[in-house]
Structure 1
Amino acid sequence: MRTSMSKILTAVTIARVALSLDVSGTTKFQSSSKRGLVYISSEHSSDDQIWVEGNSDLTWYYDYTDIPIDAYSNRSQAEFEFVPMLWGSANSSAFASEIRSQMTAGRNITHILTFNEPDGSASTGGSEISPADAASIWIKDIEPLRNESIKIGAPSVTGSQNGLSWLSQFFTNCTSLGTNCTVDFIPLHWYGDFQGLASYIGQVVASYPNTSIWITEYALPHSDLKTTQSFFQTSAEYFDRLDYIERYSYFGSFRSSVSNVGPNAAMLTQDGQLTDIGSWYLGGAATGNSPSSSSSGSSPTNSGSTGAGYKLNSWKSGLQALITTFAVFNFGIWF
């Protein structure tokens, strides 16, 4: 079977990025205008400002609702873009009215998100909407917003084969109702290792070519610290290198003591200090602040990883990315 040399070189280049940086010591992590905030409310209001202080890389955020949070009300869309979301099926007509009202008041809304994990159950944060109901709501209340020059994201399904099946059924239902339900980008969620993430993205790209992708929730849950840090670095570098990944937002903007994806995935320690991952995500250097599941109020320590062992793990992840990308685009193999 003939293979394209350009595809091979592309795959090699994408894999090589995982080997390119050593962010130990005081070296800052690479900057990226793609990074956004998955805003999670906290009992510690001071935590809200961490994400926009200093030289933060974050350019946009969403909060699972159609209303921006008060903490960022003094920031324009150009400074920190708010992306509204229609979370579920309730009040979809009110959603469209709210968007138009904000635009009339001067907020320059250019993108919206729709239906948070509609294939998932309420117990896991899903909005539990059938593809048929979602298509009907989309045509009635979402599609008209395209007349406002707003770019619309597809429903944000779970990172599973069931999610991809739901998305396919959604588009089929749209067609049966007489419209293509045009989307400008496809938001994805992923909780798992990097090899699975790369393969999942490959599936979506193959199914929906020439469509931009946003990774709006992702993390490696409940893993050891070094593995979690390696996953973050490798995946962020991967996203930054791929042109069709337009934006991404890491799920970890909370304290490690309340993290539902494990303390090591959190971007803040139990005391509200930036972890290595938190600082890297903002484009900074490793902090050495070690996350813990305890909320004892103990002082941050410097016992966390500061990059040691990253290159070894990155070789493994980089090779996995190369193998996955090569197999997906040349042989149609999914891992």
Structure 2
Amino acid sequence: MARLLSLLALSTLAVFVSASTGDHHRVARSFGKEHNLAKRNGEVVANSSRKRDVSKRCAAKSSSAAAVQHAAATSAVSASSSVAAATSTKAAATTSKAAETTTKKASATTSTSKAVATTASSSSSSGGCSGKAGLAWSNHEADLIPDFTNSNVCWIYDWEESLQYGMTTKGLHFIPMLWGYKNADAFKSKVVKGYAEYAAFLNEPDISSQSNIGATEAVSMWKTYMAPLKSQGYKLISAAPATGPKWLQDFRTACKNQGVDCSWDYTAGHIYTTSVDSFKTVATSYHSADFDWAPVMITEYACQDYSGKNQQASSDQIYSFMTSTKSWLDAQDFIAAYFYFAPMTASELESNQLNGANAFITSDGSSLTSLAKLYIS
């Protein structure tokens, strides 16, 4: 019954997301596009557009898809409650069977959690670090990377197949990414045996301004570019959707239908919200939605309101959000890594339509903010 409720809730989330339109937030170095925010879920988001500052090396952000995540999480929880109430009589009639199933599932979950914990621990310790935090390095100068590097920070990526502009890993696990079609050839040429330990699939394939690739279409990309890396010792990371796990579910189905092994080692996803509870709900959905065999990497997240009401958090509220989410992420066995968006100054964030109070770098570009110090602690 719990499984049925979960599936029904996720179906509601999927319908909610697919009924919405608009663009998300993330582009890699040369993939910038204009973003237009539109009406979503009964809320009017200010009609605006922006062009990426091409002097920036990586992304600009504007998004309403993140608002979908927040609302979808709430919708999923609400849907679960409604379905549970509507089926209480049937549930009572099958208590014995449900109890038996729950016992078996609990046993399986325990085994899965132990396996996930082992996987996450081994992947972190292999690089001489013990934490889960990572760097999603975008616009700022690379000379500050060493200041972010300690035993709690284990990962770095830049939405590319290689580190750009003289960036170095500084002992971190570098994750090359097949962002989409635009860097496919470079990815295939660069990401070969021995180049790295990990490789990430598409960036937000469920968003029109990002890689924008359908689940069925993506199967051939996986087969061509990702699957061969498995035999070369790579640990593979799934595509990172912006609107919840529905795209990944569709992708797995398409892989099975086409007879392609699309198994991955880590499930990726993005989360933007100012609510700690919503954050936890969405993060958990990436693990419970048919993917409980794979640890989760939250490859982008931030305390950001995309509802269109501009109800941004204060610096103190963001600090509290960071404290709560970081503590929760570190405590979850199924979370392997997380990446806050992003090491920038307040003005860099604001030029990309994000709340400048999320800044990790001081305004003069010389050092880490208190929020960044909390993140790497």
Q: TM-score, normalised by structure 2?
A: 0.59
C-alpha deviations, 1:138-166, integer Å up to 9, x for none?
012211110101011111000x2xx4222
Q: Distance in 1 between matches of 2:148 and 2:343?
A: 8
- State the secondary structure of the residue aligned to 1:189: strand
Give the counterpart of 1:57 among 152, 155, 159. 152
SS in 2 for 1:116: coil
Task: Read off the aligned partner of 1:35 and give its amino acid letter.
Answer: A
Distance 1:262 1:74, change over 3 A: closer
Task: Count the aligned residue pairs.
Answer: 243
Structure ranking higher on relative contact order (CA contacts 8 Å, 6+ apart): 1
**Structure 1 residue 86 and structure 2 residue 184: aligned?**
no
Query: How far, CA to CA, are the matches of 2:225 and 2:142 in structure 1?
Result: 34
1:132-171 to 2 correspondence within 5 Å? 132-158=216-242, 160=243, 163-171=244-252
Aligned to 1:97: 189
Post-superposition CA distance 1:13-63 (Å, at most 9, x none): xxxxxxxxxxxxxxxxxx952111000132x454444323xx463222000
Q: Structure 1's 179 and 190: CA in aligned 2 closer, same or farther, altered over 3 A?
A: same
Residues in 1 aligned to 2:278 and 2:187: alpha-carbon distance in whole angstroms? 34
Out of 263, 270, 281, the residue aligned to residue 363 of structure 2 is 270
- Please give the secondary structure, in 1, of the residue aligned with 2:252: helix
CA distance in 2, matches of 1:74, 1:219: 23
1:247 is paired with a residue whose SS is strand
Change (3 A) 1:91 1:40: closer
CA contact (8 A) 1:257 1:269 kept: no
Per-residue deviation, residues 208-240 of structure 1 (Å, max 9, x unmatched): 112110011011113111111111011111111
AA aligned to 2:270 is H
> What is the aligned partner in structure 2 of residue 333 from structure 1?
none
Change (3 A) 1:215 1:271: same
**1:188 aligned partner:** 269
Q: Is 1:219 aligned to residue 316 of structure 2?
A: no
SS at match of 1:60: strand
Deviates further, 112-121 or 273-282: 273-282
Post-superposition shift, 1:71? Answer: 4.0
Deviation at 1:263, TM superposition (A): 1.1
Secondary structure of 2:238's aligned partner: strand
Identity fraction in percent:
27
8 Å Cα contact 1:38-1:251 kept in structure 2: yes
Kindly indicate whether the alpha-carbon contact (under 8 Å) linking 1:118 and 1:129 is maintained by their aligned counterparts in 2. Answer: yes
State the Cα distance separating 1:91 from its structure 2 match: 4.5
Cα drift, residue 282 of structure 1: 2.0
Look up the match of 1:177: 258
Does the CA contact (< 8 Å) of 2:297 and 2:335 recur in 1? yes
CA distance, structure 2, for counterparts of residue 201 and residue 89 of structure 1: 27
Residues in 1 aligned to 2:214 and 2:169: alpha-carbon distance in whole angstroms: 38
Q: Which runs of 5+ in 2 are unaligned?
A: 1-94, 110-128, 305-311
Q: Alpha carbons of 1:252 and 1:56: their partners in 2 closer, same or farther (altered >3 Å)?
A: farther
Name 1:210's counterpart in structure 2.
Answer: 293
Match for residue 205 of structure 2? 118
Unpaired segments ≥5 residues, structure 1: 11-30, 284-335
